[in-house]
Chain A
Amino acid sequence: MDIFLKAVQVINTVIKYFLILMMFVMVVVVFLQVVYRFVLDNPLAWTEETARYLLVWITFLGAAYAMGSKAHIGVDLFMNMLPKSLRKILLIITTLLSLVFFTVMVTQGYILSQRTMMQTSPAMGLPMGYVYLVIPISGVLLMINLLYTVIGDLRGEES
């Protein structure tokens, strides 16, 4: 169990720096677009598409990273009114339910990615399958991060 928790922490550190890098590149790319359009009067074709795909990647990978730091928004008002034992059972139920949705992301994301490997993006000629690949990857990362936080929560309740 502890090996799993350690592994998740390592994975998350890698994801974190990857996310920071993508955010930085997105800023640079869109700023280049502004400079080329207004200052040099010579608009670039690839900037908007690159930035959009970066945003998609940041969204899904970031969602997995945010899961690890419990940043996702929920309505905890009612749960906090319940007794501890009931809360624990509900925590397990909500975890299983979330896993169902992430499984759909993984399987359907994988199918989508496989089917679109032959399509290419309009501006850069990138195979769309690679762009879509972020959905199944993030689905898996969402799962392990969810388990990571739930294990932490359950241990916290016991101690």
Chain B
Amino acid sequence: MILLLFLTLLLLLFINVPVAVALGLSATLIFVYASDVPLLIVTQKMFNATDSFPLMAVPFFILAGKLMESGGISRRLVNFANTLVGPVRGGLAIVSIITCMFFAAISGSAAATTAAVGSILIPAMVKKGYDKDFSTAIQASGGTIGVIIPPSVPLILFGVAAGTSIKDLFIAGIIPGILIGTSLVIVALIISLKKGYGGGEKSTFQQFIRSFADAILAMLMPVIILGGIYGAVFTPTEAAVVAVVYGLIVGLFIYREIKLKDLSRIFSESVITTSVIMFIIATASIFGFLLTRERIPQQLSDLMLGFTDSPVITLLVINVLLLIVGTFMETSAVIIILTPILAPIVSAMGIDLVHFGIIMVVNLAVGMVTPPVGINLFVASNIANVKFERLVYATLPFLLILILDILIITFIPEISLFLLK
């Protein structure tokens, strides 16, 4: 019966039935075919899964990210970072990654980070003589930090699915995010030095002060959001709504780059992104109910324990699985589907669930720049108008260091858990 369930799901996904419908339909068909559970449970589960206050952080962080994108905040962050490190060799490459890290601390999405920072920096880098493929590759890989440095939509989804504290996950994501950012800077710097990219006029102290003053409101935003969550002042959902209101005020009244007529576009785009994720959550809960009822996670976990009791091997196997799945399926969907299955397995091995959440999100983030279908590669190649194949080639050095980062984060739990102790 369970084999049938998974086969039905895979078949439906294979013929391009939307993920949300595939999850709900496969579970519903099995209900009708092989159980006496009343069908009413389908709509009941869908309702209960979406009737959640913690999940409300998802639409708010999506909305906050879109407000930042349109509100001129990314441009100001770029300018400030540029006066800091712009003049050195590979300066703009470093600016790209640092801005991605800052932007990541505001927005919860990788594609948004790539789009917001890339649309400004790729043209700027090309103008300064950087190779276009290389500039685009930096943006694609830099954007992955978007989901690792908190706030992060995938981490919220993991927290809800695994029943772990979202706040702990957010704290645990900080050092891995910085590690990945630093490693990308190193690769970008080495390539820039070899090819002689960048360098140029130094900015004056006055320029520095001006760009700092201009960007201060943008930089205060992560301080308010993350400070509020870590200081236990706000729940993540409340911090997210504060971010939305802050973004609205700054964008509408202070920077004045958002016009009232832009708001309907920003809101409706956020609604679509939100309901696509939330609808998957709704239907995945039917699927999850069936799994739990049949004790599938326990059975899989027993199976895995019979095969090996080494956490190292288990994590390696899961890493490979996630990297593969992450290349052709969207991050949020993978987290919603796989977390309830994988969490019991790793718990049985004595692996900390917060640490596992970070492993999962980092893996899936790297999947976004892994060919053939990494979403960040598509976003970046679109905004820069670079051929996909050339971008894949230019991204390879970054991809290699990212895979090394995955291994480091997986096998040194302290990197994630240090700040929690």
A17–B268 CA distance with the chains assembled, in angstroms: 8
Given A65-B272, A76-B16: A58 in contact with B59 (beta carbons within 8 A): yes
Q: Which segment, of B7-15, B139-147, B288-296, faces chain A?
A: B7-15
A117 → B minimal CB distance (Å):
15
Contact, CB under 8 Å: B279 / A65: no
Contact pattern, A 13-29, Cβ under 8 Å of B = 1, otherwise 0: 00011011001101100
B40 CB–A CB distance under 8 Å: yes
Contact, CB under 8 Å: B17 / A55: no
Q: Which chain A residues border B19 with CB–CB below 8 Å?
A: 72-75
Q: Which chain A residues border B274 with CB–CB below 8 Å?
A: 23, 58-59, 62
A52–B52 CA distance with the chains assembled, in angstroms: 6
A54 → B minimal CB distance (Å):
9
B410 → A minimal CB distance (Å):
26
Nearest A residue to B238 by beta-carbon distance? Answer: A34
Nearest B residue to A72 by beta-carbon distance? Answer: B18
Contact, CB under 8 Å: B328 / A109: no
A53–B51 CA distance with the chains assembled, in angstroms: 6
When the two chains form the complex, which single residue of A23, A100, A105 contacts B59, counting CB atoms closer than 8 Å? Answer: A23
A116 → B minimal CB distance (Å):
10
Contact pattern, B 57-93, Cβ under 8 Å of A = 1, otherwise 0: 0011001000000000000000000000000000000
A100–B26 CA distance with the chains assembled, in angstroms: 11
When the two chains form the complex, which single residue of A17, A72, A93, A111 contacts B279, counting CB atoms closer than 8 Å? Answer: A72
Q: Which chain A residues border B47 with CB–CB below 8 Å?
A: 56, 112, 132, 135
A90 CB–B CB distance under 8 Å: yes
Q: Which chain A residues border B238 with CB–CB below 8 Å?
A: 30, 33-34
Contact pattern, A 61-76, Cβ under 8 Å of B = 1, otherwise 0: 1110110010111111
Contact pattern, B 268-303, Cβ under 8 Å of A = 1, otherwise 0: 101111111011111000000000000000000000
A18 → B minimal CB distance (Å):
10
Q: Which chain A residues border B333 with CB–CB below 8 Å?
A: 73
Contact, CB under 8 Å: A55 / B13: no
Among B19, B238, B274, B275, the most chain A Cβ lie within 10 Å of the Cβ of B275
B9 → A minimal CB distance (Å):
11
A129 → B minimal CB distance (Å):
12
Given A63-B20, A75-B16: A27 in contact with B245 (beta carbons within 8 A): yes
Given A34-B238, A73-B19, A79-B16: A27 in contact with B63 (beta carbons within 8 A): yes
A23–B63 CA distance with the chains assembled, in angstroms: 9
Contact, CB under 8 Å: A98 / B18: yes
B39 CB–A CB distance under 8 Å: yes
Contact, CB under 8 Å: A63 / B279: yes
Contact, CB under 8 Å: A101 / B25: yes
A74–B17 CA distance with the chains assembled, in angstroms: 6
Contact, CB under 8 Å: B17 / A65: no
A2 → B minimal CB distance (Å):
25
Contact, CB under 8 Å: B56 / A38: no
B359 CB–A CB distance under 8 Å: no
B350 CB–A CB distance under 8 Å: no
Given A19-B271, A20-B264, A60-B279: A109 in contact with B43 (beta carbons within 8 A): yes
Contact, CB under 8 Å: B276 / A72: yes
> Which residues of A are at the interface with B, using a C-beta cutoff of 8 A?
16-17, 19-20, 23-24, 26-27, 30-31, 33-34, 38, 48, 51-53, 55-56, 58-63, 65-66, 69, 71-79, 90, 93-94, 97-98, 100-101, 104-105, 108-109, 111-112, 132, 135
- Excluding A58-B59, A62-B279, A98-B21, 16 further A-B contacts by CB distance (< 8 Å) are A30-B237, A34-B241, A48-B53, A52-B51, A53-B51, A55-B52, A55-B59, A62-B275, A62-B278, A66-B272, A73-B18, A74-B18, A97-B21, A98-B18, A100-B28, A135-B47
List 5 interface pairs A-B (beta carbons < 8 Å), by A numbering.
Answer: A30-B238, A52-B51, A58-B274, A59-B279, A63-B278
